[in-house]
Amino acid sequence: MTNPGKEFMENTSYPDFSTFDMILRVPEPPPENSVPEDAKIIKLPSPKRIKFPGFSARDALEHWEPVEFFSRSSMTLKELSFLLWCMQGVKTVRDRETVIRNVPSSGRRYPINTYFVAGEVKGIPTGLYQYIPSKHQIALLREDSDLPFALGTASMNFKMITRAPVSFIWTAVPYRSVWALGNRGYRNVLIEAGHICQALIMASASIEYIVHPIDLFHDAMIIQLTGIDPESEWPLYIAAVGKTVPDY
């Protein structure tokens, strides 16, 4: 019997320069996924326009607790913009190449992509979206009122997902990290997903939402829902964002 956890740790020991394609001068992979030509692009409001109660880091941490129930609620486009920016927003561009975002990423490789299913986000239709960090825009990949139900089934959290105004799906393109870091990059992908979810928890608390992280789901169903290529991009993590008290 194999031990996949032990094998993973052994095979991602650092450093193994023979696995560094950057050193071998293999062309660098694109920094973010392209958007389908027929996708509708939506420019998000500036995240600086959001107004929220003064929350300290301690307040945000104490606000979060495990929940198994969401009331039906909605979210504004300003609030969605703020959450996306806190998770993966671009802070600094230097020399037109070096990008600094709001979460740590080993080697600044940023292998994580953010998709989301909008259930009740004011101003945009129910559907599947892709976040474009470099432009702080979202792309509507598929408009479909049944998507919250499909994601609820795929994630085995039907009531949480269908009542959440928005549910985020994080996928990884491991080669963005592996290109520069070798096999060690696979570890960094998993670590970064945790950074992003924690940023979402903190940011959501500051605007009085609660995050329900989901790490148990049917990979094949998420791949089908998002339309990603499983040869190069893998589903990693899901998080539903909502409220336990109705907002109406």
pLDDT in tens, 28-73: 999 999 999 999 999 999 988 777 667 777 887 887 888 888 999 9
16: in domain:
no
Is 154 in contact with 222 (CB distance < 8 Å)?
yes
Pick the residue with more confidence: 79 or 94?
Answer: 79
* Among 2-16, 124-138, 212-226, the least confident range: 2-16
Whole-model pTM? 0.94
pLDDT at site 96 = 64
Q: What pLDDT does residue 111 have?
A: 97
Residue 24 belongs to some domain of the structure: no
pLDDT at 91: 85
In a domain, 195, yes or no: yes
Q: CA quadruple 21, 234, 188, 209: dihedral positive or negative?
A: positive
182-230 per-position pLDDT tens digit: 999 999 999 999 999 999 999 999 999 999 999 999 999 999 999 999 9
Asked if the structure places residue 179 within a domain, the reply is: yes
- The whole domain housing 186 covers 37-242
Q: What is the pLDDT of residue 247?
A: 67
Cβ–Cβ contacts within 10 Å for residue 241, how many? 27
Q: Is residue 217 part of a domain?
A: yes
CATH assignment of the domain containing 58: 3.40.109.10
> CB–CB of 32/206 below 8 Å?
no
Residue 123 pLDDT > 90? yes
Number of domains forming the structure of the chain: 1
Weakest-pLDDT range from 11-15, 116-120, 171-175, 226-230: 11-15
> With contact defined as beta carbons under 8 Å apart, do 211 and 197 qualify?
yes
In a domain, 206, yes or no: yes
Assigned domain for 21 exists: no
- Burial of 130 (C-beta count, 10 Å sphere; 0-12/13-18/19+): buried
- Decide if 19 is inside a domain: no
What is the Cα–Cα distance from 117 to 143, expressed in whole angstroms? 10
